[in-house]
Structure 1
Amino acid sequence: MTRRIKETFVEATMLKILAVAVVTIAAASYAGHDAIVFGSFLNEQNAVVKRQQVIQSLELDATIEPVQIDRQTWYRVLAYHVSARDLLVKVRLEGFSDSWLLLESSRNTATAVNATRDRERSPPDSPVPSTGLAKLKRLNAAEASPLPKGRERIRRDDLEMYGDISYENRFFGKTGPSDQDKFHASVTFSPELYVRLRDQKSSFTFKPKFRGDSVDSRRNLVDIQDLSWVDVKDSIETRVGIRKDFWGVTETFHRVDIINQTDLVESFDGEDKLGQPMINLSFEGNWGTIDAYALLGFRERTFPGKNGRLRGPIPIDLNSAEYESGAKNWRMDFAIRWNQDFENTQLALSHFSGTSREPEFLSVVREGSPSLTPYYSVIEQTGIELLYIIGGMAVKLEAISRSGQGERFSAATAGFEYTQVGIFDTRLDLGWLMEINHDDRQRSSPIAVGTRLTFNDLYDSQILSGVLWNEDSGETNVFVEASRRIGGCCKLSLESLYFNGGLTTNGDNQMSEYIRDDDFVRLEFIYFLGS
């Protein structure tokens, strides 16, 4: 075993030990498996809404059972099924990702408060959360979906207010190549206002986001994540305003996700997005769902500043961005997407026409110093998403073909995720995932291998860990993500990335060549407002 491999192994082991310290196992072994639990709520009305979602979208006979846990009454939404273990994988992939198995012998570990089930009158039909690939049947977009477990809303008739405040600290192993600090702290405030109109078919949402960073001024943010009006009439849903809409099914790279611009300074993995002004019409029928988008205006990608970390050696000049379109950032873009659910398959086809969310860079010299200028081309992109379920395995594919940035190119991410439900006859679920990547623009692309450990406890504890390995460059990047709720008010999360630079044997630049000294651990504490 080489010294570099040993270092990678030791680093990965240390990161996993740290993740386990954040996520504590709170459940003993359980035998048997009879029910799927979809959520536990301190607010009984939230449980009623969740039950309606399960009944209407999955056609399962869901019930509500009040239980006493830690001297608090929780309302548990669950469905008993003879093949609960096999059904759980499909249920999670269809939008209920937090669901877990309630094993037969564990039902008595929590004291029942009231044996009478479903005492509540069901509210009007409520919407089902969208999945990573196919949007499930929308029953009535006017009713808000329930919040995560333990997170309640301040309610005044048809007005609801909630949100969260988070404190984040990033610890870097070394000082940056431009002498950047090793410690970066930030605070984020994300309130949300939801108004349901009296006709029960229209709603209004306002969700701003405010972020302040202690070191990098470019991480300071005032953004509108959601400022939208939604109206439902028969099989047509109209959404107007600033929104976020996600496309895709894979874990490592989201090839088809192009509606919103990436907020790169918020998260290095590109998962966080900026709000996009749009008009979105959704048509639903037996043939599937068609979403048509008119995207009003363009938002530029965010990049770290000179004091920021996880950046290249040449600064990016955000004040001199150039556009292929004469309308610049006022150009109207268009997109359309069709998706359909089959028995074990979810399929989506999409096309985007407009300004690329992924800029190219022009090298310029200003006042004797080199800098990079973002250049946004006009592109045409066609994409496909496929999710096929075989027992406990989910096979995933995202692929695109794009023109407008030089020669037409293709890129794809494909892989699988296999879930072992209730390992060792406990609540623990262990998922194994592997994805391969291809991009015509790159000499080689990384392979991702990872595991997802879900504790299925009341506190949503889970750990995702894995390795990105590039055979051609020898780079091996290790990542760990873990999270756990604290009571009904808070959440603690951990993220860590370790960059192993590998060997430069072909003269090409490596993917992480300029950030090899930016190994970091990020800790975030979130306090939910309205609980």
Structure 2
Amino acid sequence: MEQRIFLDRPDPLTQPIGNSYPYPVYHQVSVALSPHVEASSQRNNMVYTAHPFLRFDERDSERTHVDFRELKAAVVTKKWQASIGFDQVHWGVMENHHLVDIVNQTDYNESPNGDDKLGQPMFRLGVNIKDALLEAMILIGYREPSTPTPGARFSFGVDYRYEYEGWGEEYHPDLALRYSKKVRNIDVGVGYFGGHSRTPELVTQAVGDPVWKVNLIDQLSVDVKADLNRIELKAEILYKVVGDQSTRAMVLGSEFKLIQNQNISVNLLAEYSWDEHGKNAFDNSFQNDIFAGVRFTLNGLNDSEILIGHNYDFDFGSQHGSVQAKVNVTKALSVGVEGWWFNVSDDDYANKAFNDDNMIQLTGYYNF
């Protein structure tokens, strides 16, 4: 069960959203159910997974939604594994900016941080090659980002229609390949993605409303994490081609283990994000930004965790911060507290809609 409390009055709505969403909204209650069920058969090496997700929101009809995070059948052996159905695949090693994570579409209804993803229909094959993993995925069916109702809290403005580049439109198959290997204390991943971009481009037209254009892209990426005892060094590097334009971007980061004992762990986090297009980058959320944070893990309290982070944009002067805490009172009962605040420049078009959405969120979890 979740209670959101908004601290600021939003800009007046240009048009009413509906009777269930009066102006201004200062609180919002919702409930969610997310069971994860797995069944396996040793006789034929089959594993069946079902992970539906359902949220009901008292005010926002778009935030009330159902999704299959996973719904798949898999064959798993020591040398290879194959699956078909809805699945989730996460690429990358960073805490704040997930630069190379592209396989699944983002569920923005859940949180501004973009960590929650929609399930993606796919055929997935993985082969173990001398302590390395080679994966190939064929993705069928483009999933539009899940977003709140335009004008609602944490929304992105007007909801325009989508146009897709390439044959088959939203059913154009996408291809994802990844090779990952651990060499001593270094984890390395090399990925390729060819297909529809997960970040559609808003294009104005001579006649009619703008449209969200979903471009075909080719993306090469590398992610590295080196464990040097008390410090971890991380990097994600990307080269992307859209039409006749190319983009280079990277995220460099580190995680320092300040305190490590039986009761508490304290890690300091730092990341720097860069995009060669600077202010003109299509997704300018992290084109020249620095992030600093600290993570507390309360080992003596059922591995409860608190993450405090702050992001600053050197180009626009925008900044935002968050506190995310989850206290596991017992194995069955947890309490979450999440807070977000924003101070975003009007030129920072990717994030300025959040300026009035400073928020405190209280969540109660029951694990069964």
* TM more than 0.5: yes
What is the 5 A alignment of 1:199-214?
A: 199=43, 201-214=45-58
Residue aligned with 1:466, SS: strand
Aligned-partner SS, 1:329: helix
Mapped partners of 1:227, 1:429: distance in 2:
35
Q: How big is each residue's C-alpha offset from its partner over 1:178-210, in whole Å with a ceiling of 9 and x where there is no partner? A: 244111111111223322114162111112111
**What is the root-mean-square deviation in Å for CA atoms of aligned residues?**
2.0
SS at match of 2:288: coil
Which residue, 311, 316, 326 being the options, matches 1:468? 311
CA distance in 1, matches of 2:358, 2:294: 21
How many residue pairs are counted as aligned between the two chains? 351
Please report how far the alpha carbon of residue 212 of structure 1 lies from its aligned counterpart in structure 2 after TM superposition: 1.2
| Matched residue type, 2:335 | L
Q: 1:349: Cα distance to partner?
A: 0.4
Give, as a single letter, the amino acid of the residue that structure 1 aligns with 2:187: Q
**1:236 matched to which residue of 2?**
80
Q: Please give the alpha-carbon distance, in whole angstroms, between the structure 1 residues aligned to 2:90 and 2:24.
A: 33
Higher relative contact order at CA 8 Å, sep ≥6: structure 1 or structure 2?
Answer: 1
Shift of 1:286: 1.3
Structure 1 equivalent of residue 18 of structure 2? none
Structure 2 counterparts to residues 281-320 of structure 1, below 5 A: 281-286=125-130, 288-312=132-156, 314-317=157-160, 320=161
Offset of 1:343 from its aligned partner? 0.8
Contact 1:433 1:449 in 2 (8 A): yes
Q: After superposition, where does 1:37-52 map in structure 2 within 5 Å?
A: none
The one-letter amino acid paired with 1:168 is E
CA offset digits 1:42-64 (Å, max 9, x no partner):
xxxxxxxxxxxxxxxxxxxxxxx
Q: Partners of 1:426 and 1:226 in 2: how far apart?
A: 35
Cα distance, 1:326 vs. partner? 2.6
Q: d(CA) in 2 for partners of 1:375 and 1:434?
A: 34
Instruction: Return the TM-score normalized by structure 2.
Output: 0.90
Q: Report if the CA contact (8 A) 1:460-1:485 is conserved.
A: yes
1:48-93 deviation digits (Å, cap 9, x = unpaired): xxxxxxxxxxxxxxxxxxxxxxxxxxxxxxxxxxxxxxxxxxxxxx
Where do residues 382-531 of structure 1 align in structure 2 (5 Å cutoff)?
A: 382-404=220-242, 407-422=245-260, 427-443=263-279, 444-501=287-344, 508-509=347-348, 511-529=350-368
Contact 2:262 2:300 in 1 (8 A): no
User: What aligned pairs does 1:106-255 form with structure 2 within 5 A after superposition?
Assistant: 167-177=1-11, 178=13, 179-199=23-43, 201-255=45-99
Q: In the alignment, which of 295, 306, 329 is matched to residue 170 of structure 2?
A: 329
Matched residues in 2 for 1:501 and 1:296: separation?
36
**Any conservation in 2 of the 1:235–1:284 contact (CA below 8 Å)?**
yes
- Under a length normalisation based on structure 1, what TM-score does the superposition of the two structures give? 0.63
Structure 1 stretch 337-346 or stretch 452-461: which is displaced more? 452-461
Aligned counterpart, 1:347: 188
Larger mean CA deviation between 441-450 and 391-400 belongs to 441-450
Contact in 2 for aligned 1:337/1:348 (Cα 8 Å): yes
| Letter aligned with residue 455 of structure 1 | L
Pair 205,501 (structure 1): closer, same or farther in 2 beyond 3 Å: closer
Taking the aligned partners of 2:26 and 2:243, their CA distance within structure 1 comes to: 37
> CA offsets per residue over residues 135-172 of structure 1, 9 Å max, x none?
xxxxxxxxxxxxxxxxxxxxxxxxxxxxxxxx111111
Q: Cα 1:275–1:466, aligned 2, differ >3 Å: closer, same or farther? A: same
Match in the other structure for 1:271: 115
* Superposition deviation, residue 306 in structure 1: 2.9
Please state whether the residue corresponding to 1:421 is helix, strand or coil: strand
Select the structure of larger CA radius of gyration. 1
The structure where strand makes up a greater share of residues is 2
Change in 2 beyond 3 A, CA 1:426/1:340: closer
SS of alignment partner, residue 191 of structure 1: coil
1:510 Cα offset (Å): 5.7
Structure 1 stretches of 4+ moved >6 Å:
none
Q: Which structure is higher in helix share? A: 1
What is the rounded CA distance, in whole Å, between the counterparts of 1:519 and 1:406 in structure 2? 39
- What secondary structure does 2:108 align onto? coil
Conserved in 2, the CA contact under 8 Å of 1:483 and 1:494? yes
* Distance in 1 separating the partners of 2:360 and 2:206: 35
Letter paired with 1:283: V
1:445 CA displacement = 1.9
Percent identity for Structure 1 against Structure 2:
27
Counterpart of 2:62 in 1: which secondary structure?
Answer: helix
Structure 1 residue 240, shift from structure 2 partner: 1.3
Q: Determine if contact 1:355/1:377 at 8 Å carries over to the other structure.
A: yes
Contact 1:181 1:307 in 2 (8 A): no
Structure 2 contact 180–190 (Cα < 8 Å) conserved: yes
One-letter identity of the residue aligned with 1:333: D
Taking a change above 3 Å as real, the CA distance of residues 442 and 302 of structure 1, as seen in their structure-2 partners, is farther
3-state SS of 1:457 partner: coil
Taking the aligned partners of 2:294 and 2:71, their CA distance within structure 1 comes to: 36
Q: 1:451 to 1:327 in 2, by over 3 A?
A: same
Shift of 1:353: 0.5
Deviation at 1:420, TM superposition (A): 2.1
Give the counterpart letter for 2:245 in structure 1: E
Structure 2: gaps of 5 or more residues: 14-22, 280-286
- Conserved 8 A contact 2:294-2:309: yes
CA distance in 1, matches of 2:139, 2:52: 19
Q: Is the 8 A contact 2:194 2:219 kept in 1?
A: yes
Q: What secondary structure sits across from 2:170 in the alignment?
A: helix
Q: Deviations along 1:278-313, whole A, 9 cap, x unmatched?
A: 11111102161100111122111122213421234x
